[in-house]
Amino acid sequence: MFFKLSLRNVKRSFKDYFIYFLTLTFAVCIFYSFNSVADQEAMQDLSASQSDMIKTLKQLLSFVSIFVSVILGFLIIFANNFLIKRRKKELGLYMTLGMGKYKISRLLVTETLVVGILSLAAGLAAGVFISQGLSLLTASMFDVDFTGYAFVFSNDAMLKTVLYFGIIYLLVMVFNSIVISRYKLIDLLTAARKNEQLKVRKTAVSVMLFILSLLILGIAYGVMLKYGLMESTALVWTCVGLGSFGTLLFFMSLSGFALNIIQQSKNIYFKDINIFVLRQINSKVNTTFLSMTIICLMLFFTIGVLSSGFSLKDAMNRDLEAATPFDASVGLFIEENSSIKDIRQAEQKLGLDLDSYGETHRFTRYQTDQSLKPLLLPYKDKSSEPLVDHFDQTYVTAIARSDYEAIAAMQGKKPVKTKDNEVLLLSSAGSTFKDTFKRFTRETKTIKLNGQTYSIAGNVIDFASSTDFKGLEFLTAVVPDQAAVSMKPLHSITNIQYDGGERAKNDYLYKLLSASMRGQLQKEQGFTLSGATKTMVHETYTGASAITVFIGIYLGIIFLISSAAVLALQQLSEASDNAERYTVLKKIGVTKKGINKAIFRQIFIYFMMPLSLAILHSIFGVQVVNKEIMVAGGGNVLLSSLLTGLIIITVYGGYFLATYSGYKRIVK
């Protein structure tokens, strides 16, 4: 009997619950999909560095999932609270009929359980399919070649989803019981009649607050644009704080003030029933500026992360070929107090026979006494500025002419001939410094290295003398062999082109080099190796960008759904209060079409308000991020913005339409 009542309640209010149910299902679906990705078939056949990457991703995902479940927990409790508010009268009726609070709680618990189980089942079912697509996307992001495709159901992810959402639903039940136990019967029965008090703020105060909010936002934007993300973490957080506060002030003041402006424009104000629509929104912004602010910030995060994430991915994958001319390069840091002075010695000590890997060439890279900063500072531009500013300890490096010729030959390139008093300048960071170098070689004809003045031969050439992570050879001078000998040796490097059996060689070198990076080699052998394999560089860049994009998309979509759901639920829960107002409008002669138009405008403005400010924030935010990305090689902002726009329009627009039709149904 009891169960029947709850079941019927769920069924009857299914239309009202639709958005709630939809959100729960979405949340479950996304939660499962992202957590199951690492278990997918496509992720099984990986190289050593790739599986490390996936491990990192999995760890990150489990952290992020905790954060996500906290957000979803809040969202679900919030949504549930709205639904209870709507049903106050019904609950009051149960109470007058003699149902105790304990029983009502039990009724609600059963209802939550039914909705919970249904949404879990639906979400998991959808998730199983979505995750297949997601795994394909992930595989392509990580550049994994998957040969066989199999349908995978991840038990781990399912258990995790059920556990996390089980906890959330349990919290909802506890929360409901507390709320119910605190209600008084009289409040429940008269709930519908209680009107929210309208807060009226003075216009002058609103205008002042508004101007203040614009100032604060302007300062935050300005500081970020000027100093960028890398200057100092404290500065970034201050700007984020300022921006958030500015947003809050913006929405707080907007209501008292925007109306006044619109009232001046008689053509808008006196058109249709805009008077009513404006007042509706105005009365709500007065009381919901806090949620508006949070939604705006969440949307900003979503837009920012999605669009810069996509362009980061794009940027990271550029110039990879140019930076990796050899299958592998292993380099030794030459230290004065170490007995190992040469890469060959290091190889012997490690028992590593690199010559058996394929064609090899060994050379030394030297350091000159010419600092880079005074050289390039006058020619810096937007793209090179962040790097040039930090070049205090960076010097022009040098290689001997004979080495250059051998390396070029090994790369299958024709070496550029130079005279004895000439140097050739090389760089592997050409995409960032392109214009800077152009201006530099146009204006500067000579360069002084270790007391010797050389004339510069032609332009700076895009050339990497070894395979390494991108853009580390900022500027290398090719000097005569006898001049190189007197310079300070920096690296001793072996370049290798494999002759087959790549996988095993790659994995061995990857392990060796990553052990060196962790400092293990220094401890055990007393020296440090640098360098990379071609695969490693590719996988690190694609992997790093893929992880960023992946986590970004995960959080972004959760935030997007959360904000859209909050907006939708707010609107719908107010729809029943507004139903009376719409009845009055009907009585004084507004047509059905006119009413629908008013509802549309009201919801549209309500949805657009946080979105438009978020878009404005993002325009600045993405610019700041792009400045950093340009250092990494520049990305395609337009494409990623379009992609982001598409996601937002689909999810946000979907919620908007669902709200609109739900609202119409309630008002009718």
Partner 1 sequence: MDSVLRVEQIEKYFGNKGNVTKAIDNISFSIEKGEFVGIMGPSGSGKTTLLNCISTIDHVTTGNIQINGTDITQLKGGRLEKFRRDELGFIFQDFNLLDTLTGFENIAIALTIQGRNPSEITQLVEKAAAKLEITSVLNKFPYQMSGGQKQRVASARAIVTNPSIILADEPTGALDSKSSRLLLDAFEKLNDEMQATILMVTHDAFTASYAKRILFIKDGKVFNELIRGTDSRKEFFSRIIEVVTLLGGDTNNVF
| Contacts to partner 1 by CB under 8 A | 195, 198, 266-267, 269-276, 279-280, 282-283, 581, 584-585, 587-592, 594
Q: Are 449 and 369 in contact (CB under 8 A)?
A: yes
Give the largest Cα separation in the chain, rounded: 104
Q: In degrees rounded to 5, what are phi and psi of residue 383?
A: -80, -35
Question: Of the two residues 167 and 584, which places its CB atom closer to partner 1 in the complex?
Answer: 584
Taking the C-alpha atoms of residue 410 and residue 487, their distance in angstroms, rounded to an integer, is 25
Provide, rounded to whole angstroms, the least separation between the CB of residue 592 and partner 1. Answer: 8
Instruction: Tell the burial category of 155 from Cβ atoms under 10 Å away from its Cβ (0-12, 13-18, 19+).
Output: exposed
Provide, rounded to whole angstroms, the least separation between the CB of residue 568 and partner 1. Answer: 21
Question: Of the two residues 78 and 269, which places its CB atom closer to partner 1 in the complex?
Answer: 269
Provide, rounded to whole angstroms, the least separation between the CB of residue 15 and partner 1. Answer: 26
Count, in order, helices (H) and strands (E) of the chain: 23, 10
Taking the C-alpha atoms of residue 559 and residue 301, their distance in angstroms, rounded to an integer, is 8
Provide, rounded to whole angstroms, the least separation between the CB of residue 589 and partner 1. Answer: 3
Provide, rounded to whole angstroms, the least separation between the CB of residue 577 and partner 1. Answer: 10
Provide, rounded to whole angstroms, the least separation between the CB of residue 284 and partner 1. Answer: 9
Question: Of the two residues 111 and 574, which places its CB atom closer to partner 1 in the complex?
Answer: 574
- Amino acid occupying residue 356: S
Provide, rounded to whole angstroms, the least separation between the CB of residue 275 and partner 1. Answer: 5
Question: Of the two residues 281 and 429, which places its CB atom closer to partner 1 in the complex?
Answer: 281
User: Kind and range of the H or E element at 527?
Assistant: none
> Among candidates 441, 426, 430, 367, which has minimal Cα distance to 398?
367
533 strand-pairing partners: 328
Question: Of the two residues 364 and 602, which places its CB atom closer to partner 1 in the complex?
Answer: 602
Sign of the C-alpha dihedral computed for residues 483, 466, 628 and 393 taken in this order: negative
Provide, rounded to whole angstroms, the least separation between the CB of residue 173 and partner 1. Answer: 36
Provide, rounded to whole angstroms, the least separation between the CB of residue 287 and partner 1. Answer: 12
Question: Which tokens in the block code for residue 253?
Answer: 């003041």
- Residue 298 is given by DSSP the state H
- Amino acid occupying residue 45: D
Question: Of the two residues 415 and 594, which places its CB atom closer to partner 1 in the complex?
Answer: 594
> Among candidates 113, 124, 117, which has minimal Cα distance to 155?
124
Q: How many CB atoms lie within 10 A of CB 444?
A: 13
Taking the C-alpha atoms of residue 34 and residue 202, their distance in angstroms, rounded to an integer, is 49
Using CA atoms, how far residue 342 sits from 139, 326, 335, 365, in Å, is 40, 20, 10, 11
Provide, rounded to whole angstroms, the least separation between the CB of residue 581 and partner 1. Answer: 6
3-state secondary structure 445-513: CEEEECCEEEEECCCCEECCCCCCCCCCCCCEEEECHHHHHCCEEEEEEEEEEECCCHHHHHHHHHHHH
User: Kind and range of the H or E element at 533?
Assistant: strand 529-533
Provide, rounded to whole angstroms, the least separation between the CB of residue 261 and partner 1. Answer: 16
176 contacts: CB under 8 Å, gap ≥ 6: 80, 84, 105, 108, 109, 112
Question: Of the two residues 265 and 402, which places its CB atom closer to partner 1 in the complex?
Answer: 265
Provide, rounded to whole angstroms, the least separation between the CB of residue 657 and partner 1. Answer: 25
Question: Of the two residues 31 and 276, which places its CB atom closer to partner 1 in the complex?
Answer: 276
Taking the C-alpha atoms of residue 436 and residue 424, their distance in angstroms, rounded to an integer, is 17
DSSP string, 214-265: HHHHHHHHHHHHHHTTTS-HHHHHHHHHHHHHHHHHHHHHHHHHHHHHHHH-
> Among candidates 541, 530, 470, 489, which has minimal Cα distance to 325?
470
Provide, rounded to whole angstroms, the least separation between the CB of residue 256 and partner 1. Answer: 14
Question: Which tokens in the block code for residue 287?
Answer: 């009381």
Question: Of the two residues 1 and 588, which places its CB atom closer to partner 1 in the complex?
Answer: 588
Question: Of the two residues 197 and 339, which places its CB atom closer to partner 1 in the complex?
Answer: 197
Taking the C-alpha atoms of residue 372 and residue 299, their distance in angstroms, rounded to an integer, is 42
Q: Are 448 and 308 in contact (CB under 8 A)?
A: no
Question: Of the two residues 405 and 577, which places its CB atom closer to partner 1 in the complex?
Answer: 577
Question: Of the two residues 79 and 277, which places its CB atom closer to partner 1 in the complex?
Answer: 277
Question: Of the two residues 453 and 591, which places its CB atom closer to partner 1 in the complex?
Answer: 591
Question: Of the two residues 272 and 321, which places its CB atom closer to partner 1 in the complex?
Answer: 272
Question: Of the two residues 276 and 607, which places its CB atom closer to partner 1 in the complex?
Answer: 276
Question: Of the two residues 232 and 263, which places its CB atom closer to partner 1 in the complex?
Answer: 263
Question: Of the two residues 341 and 581, which places its CB atom closer to partner 1 in the complex?
Answer: 581
Provide, rounded to whole angstroms, the least separation between the CB of residue 573 and partner 1. Answer: 17
Provide, rounded to whole angstroms, the least separation between the CB of residue 590 and partner 1. Answer: 6
Provide, rounded to whole angstroms, the least separation between the CB of residue 201 and partner 1. Answer: 14
- Amino acid occupying residue 208: M
Instruction: Tell the burial category of 584 from Cβ atoms under 10 Å away from its Cβ (0-12, 13-18, 19+).
Output: exposed
Question: Which tokens in the block code for residue 110?
Answer: 């059963």
Using CA atoms, how far residue 591 sits from 114, 577, 596, in Å, is 40, 20, 9
Taking the C-alpha atoms of residue 373 and residue 392, their distance in angstroms, rounded to an integer, is 6
